Every structure is written in structure tokens, then in C-alpha cells.
Amino acid sequence: MTAPRLDIDLEKVRHNCRTLVDRLAPKGIDVTGVTKAFLGASEMAQAMLDGGATSLGDSRIENLQAMRGFSVEAPMRLIRSPMLSQVDAVVELVEISFNTESSVISALSLSAAQHGIVHGVVIMVELGDLREGVMPDDLSDLVALVMSLPNVRLAGLGTNLACQTGVIPDVAKMDELSRLSDSVEVEFGIDIEMITGGNSANLSWALSGVDTGRINNLRLGESILLGRDPLHRQAIDGLHTDAITLVAEVIEAKDKPAMPWGDVAEAAFSGQPERTGDGTIHQAILAVGRQDIDPDGLTSPTGIDVLGASSDHLVVRTMPDAISVGQEVSFELNYSALVRAMTSPFVERTYTEHPVLAVAP
């Protein structure tokens, strides 16, 4: 088989999605499967839908186009604010986009009118993470704009935390979104359909047993794909953390001095781990590099430690005789390593299916 590649177990992806959907359903929260980490690959999108996601969300129009092209049947949302230069493509492609700017919403309205359709606008509210969102004090004005413009409708309110500065989506933040939703409903005499509370980082809050208030949707990517809660990156009970693994091939395996020799200046990439130890170590090189993965985001199998990486070489330390040239090694990935691997043209994807595996509850 070709290497490097991502081995993707669709059954595990489905299982992860289904488990989260089933846990959130009793709280009245449905799941938008977030597809941006895999360039809209239809197999993965379909696994999320088969796992109970009721819609798909992506931040890039190209990925949404790809899924439509592969006839993925699902409501789709653009979860990043549309570029002003792309509003036509947005209204043609998706029913709903997430928005924070009046100029973009006005352009969407104009374009939707030209297309003879109505486009749904979810207004994102800034609650402290300092990425996208209108400040809470400005929410009412933006809602008023959406209500006043033709061919757009208010499809919902939302927020996104924990992505830019790591602000936790806790009870206080989520209650604030619920309160804002209530006040918009009272002020404008409307019912808000979707109140989308956040991403995988919201799971601790959503599943902690607290009152989840008005929140009725979460947008989940990382937790479905990697089975981890991004707040502390710990595995989520009952989910697979190895639904996707990176496989790379050994191209050199030699005993080498533990420490470099000669005068040392800067390496090609900063942030390499310090080399330590003395004497001789067993070192191997895998044919994969920073163009394809984030070396800090790999979890190696027992007996193998990542020593560093350059563009095309991943250098590891191994146990004696653990590894030979031509052999393949599998790594688990974090989100950073995953998105890079998914977007590298050098990394193949192989889909496998396993019978449903029971995992410890």
C-alpha cells in the first residue's frame, strides 16, 4: 500500500458520531457534523450522517462544493463568515451561513434576491474567545438588519469558544447565549429556530448534567474524528481515538550517536525537541514530514519516540531491532496533525470498515 497514508475506519467514525448524537439527544441538542478537517471527503461526511448528524458544516466553500459534487444529501452550513467576494457561491450552495458583518449580510440579501431564494443567516455572538462574533450589545441591531432585508431570514444565533484564546464554554457563557436568545425573541416577537452553542469543546458542559438552556445544536468535528475533548485533549468515554491513524514507511534505520557533532546553528525548523543522552541510539527515519503532519501532534506506538522532523523526514528513536527499512509505523494524530495530513497532497487516504466494535462504556 502507498505511504504515507491515513487509515480511516469509517465504522469508528460512525460510532463516535452516533454515541455523541445519542448522548446529546435527551438534552434536545442535535449535531452538525463539521467536515472541514477532511476537505469534504464524501465517505467521511456520509459516516457522520449515518452516525446521526442532521446537517453538515464547513468553513470553506470549496469543501461544501466537493460534498455537493459527490451528491452528499444533507442540509449544509457555511460556519465561517462568507467572504464578500463569495456571496453568490454561498447562496447557491448552502441554505445557511454564519455571519457577523452587516455588509456581508446585505450582500447575501442582494444575491439571494437575484437567485430568487431565501438565505438563512445565523448570527454569531462574541462571548469572550475573541474570534468571530458580534459584541452582545450590537446583537439587536444586526438582528434588526436581517429582519429588514429581503431574501434573508434569521436562521439562528450562535457562538464559538475555545478556538482562539481557549475560553471555556461553561455554564456562564452558555447561559448568556440562552439569555441573549430570549431577549432577541421578546424584542422582535419571533421564535429562534437554531441556537448553536459551539464545538467539541462544549461537550464537557453539555454532558455534565447541567441545564443546557436554549442551546439546541452543537457543531462537532474533532470529537467525532479523534474521540477527544479538545479542552484537555483527553479521550471521551466510549469513543475511539484511533478512527484515523497515520501510516508512514521507514526509509533509514541505523545506530547513530545520541548527540549531533560539529558547530551548531539554527536547524531548518525551530522548535525541534532537544536531543539528549549519550552513546549510541537506534534511530529511524520515516518518509513523512512537516509538509504532511505536525510532528508534535503524533502519538507514537510504544517503543518509538519522535525526535523531530523537517519538511520530508520524521526522525524517531526506536528500541533495538524494533524497526527495519520498508516497515510501516502507525501513529495516532491530534487535530493539528490531522488537518495537515488531510490537506497534504502527499498523504493517501484508505478507508476501512470493521464490524461494530464494542468499546468500554
Ligand X SMILES: *Cc1c(COP(=O)(O)O)cnc(C)c1O
Of the candidate residues 230, 295, 297, 308, the single one contacting ligand X (CB under 6 A): 230
199 touching ligand X, by CB under 6 A: yes
Which is closer to ligand X, CB of 44 or CB of 250? 44
Neighbours of 278 (CB within 10 A): 8
Which is closer to ligand X, CB of 222 or CB of 249? 222
195 touching ligand X, by CB under 6 A: no
241 touching ligand X, by CB under 6 A: no
How many binding residues for ligand X (CB under 6 A)? 14
Cβ-in-10-Å burial (0-12, 13-18, 19+) of 35 comes to buried
Please provide residue 151's backbone torsions phi and psi, each rounded to the nearest 5 degrees. 65, 10
81 touching ligand X, by CB under 6 A: no
As given in the structure block, the three cell numbers for residue 218 are 452543537
**Which residues, 6 or more positions from 20, have their beta carbon under 8 angstroms from its beta carbon?**
31, 203, 220, 223, 224, 236, 239
Of the candidate residues 66, 134, 220, 307, the single one contacting ligand X (CB under 6 A): 220
The residues with which 299 forms a beta bridge, in sequence order, are 332
21 touching ligand X, by CB under 6 A: no
Of the candidate residues 219, 282, 290, 317, the single one contacting ligand X (CB under 6 A): 219
**Which residues, 6 or more positions from 192, have their beta carbon under 8 angstroms from its beta carbon?**
154, 156, 157, 181, 184, 185, 214
Which is closer to ligand X, CB of 52 or CB of 230? 230
Which is closer to ligand X, CB of 36 or CB of 317? 36
250 touching ligand X, by CB under 6 A: no
Of the ranges 198-206, 237-245, 263-271, 274-282, which one interacts with ligand X (CB under 6 A)? 198-206
Which is closer to ligand X, CB of 63 or CB of 318? 63
307 touching ligand X, by CB under 6 A: no
DSSP count for the chain of H helices, then E strands = 10, 18
Pairing of strands 314-318, 304-309: antiparallel
Q: Binding marks (x or -) toward ligand X, 151..190, rule CB under 6 A?
A: ---------x------------------------------
Q: Could you tell me the end-to-end alpha-carbon distance of the chain, in angstroms, rounded to an integer? A: 34
59 touching ligand X, by CB under 6 A: yes
Pairing of strands 152-158, 76-78: unpaired
Query: Given the rule CB under 6 A, which residues bind ligand X?
Result: 34, 36, 59, 79, 160, 199-201, 219-223, 230
